[in-house]
Structure 1
Amino acid sequence: METYGKIILIAMPVFLLLVLLEKWYGWYKGKETVRTLDMISSLSSGVTNVTKDVLGLGFAVISYEWMVDHLAITKVPAGFLTYFIAFMALDFAGYWIHRIAHEYNFFWNNHIIHHSSEDFNLACALRQSISSIVKIFTIFLLPAALLGVPGQVVAIVAPLHLFAQFWYHTQHIHKMGFLEKIIVTPSHHRVHHAINKEYMDKNYGQIFIFWDKMFGTYQEELPEVPAVYGITRPVRTWNPIKINFMHLWLLIKDAWHAQSWKDKFRIWLMPTGWRPADVAEKFPVYKIEDVYHFEKYETGHSKTLLAWSWIQMTCTLLLISYCFGNIAAIGSPGIFIYGGFIFLQVYAFTDLMDRNRYAWVWESLKCILGFSILIRNGDWFGMNQLINGSTYIMATYLLLSFIASFYISFTESLETEKSGIRNMK
């Protein structure tokens, strides 16, 4: 937990810098691929994901260490070969986990957040799941376990393998010559994120593209078919926590409403998007039919809302950085209370970005929790030892956050209602 937190603490500013650099580059080249609220939504999703991972909110049905202890038939020698085998095993497992997430209803819920952005940029790479609490696909690491690759090697290689998937989420790099035959490139991954019928459910590879060519899921990017991004049932929200569970909620409702008991059970493992015919007729869900003619989700925003969203995102990053840098000192259960605060923080300000009239309710819950922590501990998880007066700083922030969010939630929702009335006229 502590080691992973320190790794993330180093990686976060690097990713943030690259995301902002891509936005500047798009502006400079006259090819903007990053909408501001979408970018903040992506960043907030990244915060929730790393918070969940650092807190260890998940468990494997079969652990990798158990497979090594009980199934290993040999041991690979220490050195480069061990790490190479671990990397290849992770990439092979990643291909199949990724493919299953796309092809089966239940597992799509763990991946929907990553495809939820209707843009394609470095920021959307940070949209990672918080809903995958139970991990059942460790079995795909069986080749490494049979060779006796130590668990600590996999633990080191896994975050490196994940971080190596960041760079190719961009529209600013075109085809890369002979590398297109070996590794996953931006061109390959643009295809993967596209909802064009020519591109759907293709290019599942994470680092190496030859898995797709080997298993029949490869598709080249076609110059005559410009990629359109998102999902065919658009999420219509900036709130990453809502996005993480909306497909699961749809499945639960569909299973409840289905008349056939067979449909109630089979819906979970049917192909992604399948719904019982009677439920689909009674409870239709909007689906994009013409990918070239639909409106991207855009709530509109005042300068005040935009500035406040940036302020809240910045405060969130500062708070999470303190958390990750002081995990041992904060201890348990404090670290989980801190995580709960971060989740409420993200939920509140992204709901406000949606111009939700009741966003202030979530802000209220966050502030109540925050003040409760300050009153109970007389400090913000030991921050006074580093910054004198930090208790007063946090109290002031919480109070101003509540006032600003209360004001903005009503003014922005009122403006939304006025816009709706004007459109009706």
Structure 2
Amino acid sequence: MPEFPNIILYAIPFFVISMLLELYVSIKEKKKTYETKDAFTSIAMGLGNVFLGFFTKAVVLLVFMVIYENFRIFTIPFAWWSFVLLLFADDFTYYWFHRISHENRLFWASHVVHHSSEHYNLSTALRQTWSGGFYTFIFWLWLPLIGFHPGMILLQMSVSLLYQFWIHTEAIDKMPKWFESVMNTPSHHRVHHGSNPLYLDRNHAGIFIIWDKLFGTFQPELEDEKVIYGLVSNIKTYNPLKVAFHEWLAMGKDVFSGKKSIRDRVKYIVKPPGWKHDGTGKLSDDLRKEWEETAGNKQSAVDIQKPVNATGLNGITQENHVGAGQ
């Protein structure tokens, strides 16, 4: 087996230089992209993730090796085509891990960390979980089972993480159309970090946006719907410990407190964020439906007040209509 380097550690100087460059551009253009406390919290979360990674990756590698050595179905060689195949297999896996992390509260408890900033810049990319590394790797167990060597898998997972660093920025508007149609980009990922009802739980891609288009979770960034970053209910703290574990505490409280059936207690773990046993909770689909109804009513009022012009569109272009891009 070839020796694969830990490319994330080698990339740290690149991360620092890129953030400084982005900060310089934002100051020059008089944009408040960075907030000092928020950026330092994101960096602290990133450093904590790297430190814990020394332990979690050892566990992951051990589990992958046990499966590979004892249960693998095939043996995939170290060849250029196997890395290409792994690129798509890993990215397909990442899509479903990422999507389920938004649809299942157990996985959301660790992933919510990455969405907790109300700012969007390269430091936000470093705001990583301290707990997810201990259990989210289960989504990748099928890769050593079919014959990919664990070293290859860990390398590709790092490549994916490295790719996703540069898309956490507002400094890049849109990439060329051909690139936007296939790859994950800053525009696509800004949507993913939006708390707007229209943008909730959309664009789960890692490297390729094709998975969202195939499985119905794609949403383009609209000019008339500015992204509002953060959570539906923001946590308003810069304390790394609270950022890392606030959702675990909230989930524990929902599971163990009050008078509930065992069935409902379990549902607080497996149901999507926002679910409540008494029916008062609202999921992202509920919030999106409410937004669409409100936006539709507002649009109808505008249509009634405006005379029909020669285009027959009441002065509203199709691109600006509330349904466009959905």
- Which category describes the TM-score, using the shorter chain as reference length? 0.7 to 0.9
Deviation of the 1:269 alpha carbon:
0.6
Query: For 1:92 and 1:241, how far apart are their aligned partners in 2?
Result: 31
Which protein is bigger by CA-based radius of gyration?
1
Query: For 1:87 and 1:141, how far apart are their aligned partners in 2?
Result: 15
Query: For 2:241 and 2:89, how far apart are their aligned partners in 1?
Result: 31
Q: Percent identity?
A: 34
TM-score, scaled to structure 2: 0.78
Q: Equivalent residue for 2:179?
A: 179
Deviation of the 1:71 alpha carbon:
4.3
Distance 1:57-1:68 versus aligned 2 partners, 3 A rule: closer
Distance 1:35-1:130 versus aligned 2 partners, 3 A rule: same
Q: Equivalent residue for 2:211?
A: 211
TM-score, scaled to structure 1: 0.61
Q: Deviations over 1:108-141 (max 9, x none)?
A: 1110110000011111000000012532543445
Does the Cα contact within 8 Å between 1:58 and 1:135 map onto a contact in 2?
Answer: no
Q: Equivalent residue for 1:164?
A: 163
Q: Equivalent residue for 1:135?
A: 135
Partner AA of 2:107 in structure 1: F
Query: For 1:165 and 1:133, how far apart are their aligned partners in 2?
Result: 17
Partner AA of 1:217 in structure 2: T
Distance 1:222-1:55 versus aligned 2 partners, 3 A rule: same
Deviation of the 1:85 alpha carbon:
1.7
Q: Equivalent residue for 2:272?
A: 271
Distance 1:215-1:8 versus aligned 2 partners, 3 A rule: closer
Partner AA of 2:248 in structure 1: L
Deviation of the 1:79 alpha carbon:
1.8
Does the Cα contact within 8 Å between 1:175 and 1:186 map onto a contact in 2?
Answer: yes
Does the Cα contact within 8 Å between 1:105 and 1:267 map onto a contact in 2?
Answer: yes
Q: Gaps (5+ residues) in structure 2? A: 282-286, 292-326
Does the Cα contact within 8 Å between 2:64 and 2:144 map onto a contact in 1?
Answer: no
Does the Cα contact within 8 Å between 2:53 and 2:133 map onto a contact in 1?
Answer: no
Deviation of the 1:7 alpha carbon:
4.2
Distance 1:110-1:204 versus aligned 2 partners, 3 A rule: same
Query: For 1:133 and 1:155, how far apart are their aligned partners in 2?
Result: 12
Does the Cα contact within 8 Å between 1:254 and 1:276 map onto a contact in 2?
Answer: no
Q: CA RMSD in A?
A: 2.7
Deviation of the 1:33 alpha carbon:
1.0
Query: For 2:8 and 2:178, how far apart are their aligned partners in 1?
Result: 33
| TM alignment of 1:156-305, pairs within 5 A | 156-176=155-175, 177-261=177-261, 262-277=263-278
Q: Deviations over 1:221-276 (max 9, x none)?
A: 11110100000121111122211111110111122223122322221111112133
Query: For 2:125 and 2:190, how far apart are their aligned partners in 1?
Result: 12
Q: Does 1:151 align with 2:150?
A: yes
| TM alignment of 1:16-415, pairs within 5 A | 16-56=16-56, 59-60=59-60, 63-142=63-142, 145-146=145-146, 148-176=147-175, 177-261=177-261, 262-277=263-278
Q: Deviations over 1:342-382 (max 9, x none)?
A: xxxxxxxxxxxxxxxxxxxxxxxxxxxxxxxxxxxxxxxxx
Question: Which structure has more RCO (C-alpha within 8 Å, separation ≥ 6)?
Answer: 2
Q: Gaps (5+ residues) in structure 1? A: 281-286, 291-425
Deviation of the 1:144 alpha carbon:
6.0
Query: For 2:249 and 2:219, how far apart are their aligned partners in 1?
Result: 32
Deviation of the 1:58 alpha carbon:
7.3
Does the Cα contact within 8 Å between 1:58 and 1:132 map onto a contact in 2?
Answer: no
Does the Cα contact within 8 Å between 1:165 and 1:207 map onto a contact in 2?
Answer: yes
Partner AA of 1:173 in structure 2: I
Does the Cα contact within 8 Å between 1:259 and 1:278 map onto a contact in 2?
Answer: no
Aligned residues: 280
